[in-house]
Amino acid sequence: MVDAATLPPQTPPSDSNKARLGGQMTNSAHKRGSAHTIVLGNEKGGSGKTTTAMHVIALLLHEGARVGSMDLDGRQRSLTRYVENRKAWADGAGVNLVMPDHVVLPRSDLDTVSEAQAAERAAFETAFARLSSENDFVVIDCPGTDSFLSRLGHAAADTLITPMNDSFVDFDLLGRVDPQTWKIKGPSVYSEMVWESRKRRVMADGGKIDWIVMRNRLSTLAAKNKRRVENVLDALADRIGFRLAPGFGERVIFREMFPSGLTLLDLRSQGVDTPLSMSHVAARAEVRGLLDELELPTDWRQAKSEAPVERAVGAY
Ligand SMILES: Nc1ncnc2c1ncn2[C@@H]1O[C@H](COP(=O)(O)OP(=O)(O)O)[C@@H](O)[C@H]1O
Ligand SMILES: [Mg+2]
């Protein structure tokens, strides 16, 4: 059993982590339009950020929303490659596939940290201001490491989705667990980074970040480890302020579609002649289940033709 009562609510970052997060708090704010911003983040590679980002993008596009997408992993560029593959596949097949308004931001290679951060901030703010005033949603895919660009992305979030593999290795970035008793000992580096981003957001415009943790690549087996992770996550959710979403199962189809740039949501589009297997149907239901859990605003449907409203969000 897990006992979260030993932790203070919303435990603040340790001093060492504050330093790691970039020192001085600033009250500056990014200018943006009325788009709702969804950020995919954690400090772990291979947990499903890019796969989830592309499926959320496709789902919203199929709903009729205008979607801007931003790839902050300028080194791996996985989301960018996904979008490029999608465009190439659609052009090759002569199919009119729904596409996001996509931007990739490379890391600055300027010599000093302050110069590099200033350049990255300027590039982020320019891209973000445009995407959020011209779209209903902006979906931001972050790298699996702590970086200045990733922090900028987190501070712009309305909704933050953190996919994690069903393992205590991934859980370790959210909270520390006693190996004997399975009790939670405290929050970890990534939770502290989110805590800091939330604080910046509140100071800048009073806005809140709705944080959703989703377990990815779940096995169908009711293993002991799976139940343990579930219990510990339940306990940690209240303590550090996230909601738990059901997540996606371990399915080969999530891996297969990258080269074509297609997602499970496209399989019924005109010109995409892929017969739906049971596994496809189940996986589509999981993606739709995630969207339901996100509780995203729906006012964009009515407000589509209205002029964008400028507002501020937290910034590093
Ligand atoms: N639910 C899933 N089932 C099977 N494979 C998955 C699933 N989600 C992601 N993958 C695969 O896991 C790898 C890492 O996913 P990715 O989305 O690139 O993670 P991240 O962006 O967090 O590094 C990729 O090969 C991807 O195809
Ligand atoms: Mg990725």
Mean pLDDT, range 239-251, rounded to an integer: 90
Say if ligand 1 is within 6 A of residue 254 CB: yes
In this structure, which ligand is nearest to the CA of 77? 2
3-state SS, the chain, equals CCCCCCCCCCCCCCHHHHHHCCCCCCCCEEEECCCEEEEECCCCCCCCHHHHHHHHHHHHHHCCCCEEEEECCCCCCHHHHHHHHHHHHHHHHCCCCCCCEEEECCCCCCCCHHHHHHHHHHHHHHHHHHHHHHCCEEEEECCCCCCHHHHHHHHCCCEEEEEEECCHHHHCCCEEECCCCCCEEEECHHHHHHHHHHHHHHHHHCCCCEEEEEEECECCCCCHHHHHHHHHHHHHHHHHCCEEECCCECCHHHHHCHHHCCCHHHCCCCCCCCCCCHHHHHHHHHHHHHHHHHCCCCCHHHHCCCCCCCEEEECC
Q: How much distance in Å is there from the Cα of 211 to the middle of ligand 1?
A: 20
> Among the listed ranges 19-28, 64-73, 119-128, 282-291, which one has the minimum average pLDDT value?
19-28
Q: How much distance in Å is there from the Cα of 3 to the middle of ligand 2?
A: 33
* Residue 105 pLDDT greater than 60, yes or no: yes
* Residue 172 pLDDT greater than 70, yes or no: yes
* Residue 212 pLDDT greater than 70, yes or no: yes
Using CB atoms within 10 Å of the CB of residue 11, give its burial: 0 to 12 exposed, 13 to 18 middle, 19+ buried.
Answer: middle
Q: How much distance in Å is there from the Cα of 47 to the middle of ligand 2?
A: 8
Domains, the chain, in order of start with CATH, read: 32-297+310-314 (3.40.50.300)
* Residue 11 pLDDT greater than 60, yes or no: no
305-308 — which CB contacts under 8 Å span 24+ positions?
A: 308/33, 308/34, 308/132, 308/133, 308/134
Residue among 43, 50, 51, 279 to mutate when testing ligand 1 (max atoms within 8 A of CB): 51
In this structure, which ligand is nearest to the CA of 56? 1
Q: How much distance in Å is there from the Cα of 206 to the middle of ligand 1?
A: 34
Mean pLDDT, range 236-247, rounded to an integer: 90
> Distance (Å, rounded) from C-alpha 113 to C-alpha 115?
6
Say if ligand 1 is within 6 A of residue 18 CB: no
Q: Tell me which residue has its CA closest to atom 25 in ligand 1.
A: 255
Q: Which of 13-22, 82-91, 221-230 has the highest mean pLDDT?
A: 82-91
* Residue 100 pLDDT greater than 80, yes or no: yes
> Distance (Å, rounded) from C-alpha 188 to C-alpha 315?
22
70 - beta bridge partners? 103, 140
In this structure, which ligand is nearest to the CA of 263? 1
Mean pLDDT of the chain: 84
Residue 30's pLDDT band (cuts 50, 70, 90): low
Measured from the Cα of 216, ligand 1's closest atom is: 1
Mean pLDDT, range 219-243, rounded to an integer: 82
Q: How much distance in Å is there from the Cα of 303 to the middle of ligand 2?
A: 32
C-beta atoms surrounding 20 within 10 Å: 15
> Among the listed ranges 74-88, 96-110, 298-312, which one has the minimum average pLDDT value?
298-312
* Residue 293 pLDDT greater than 90, yes or no: yes
102 - beta bridge partners? 69
Q: How much distance in Å is there from the Cα of 246 to the middle of ligand 1?
A: 16
* Residue 235 pLDDT greater than 90, yes or no: no
| pLDDT given at position 69 | 98
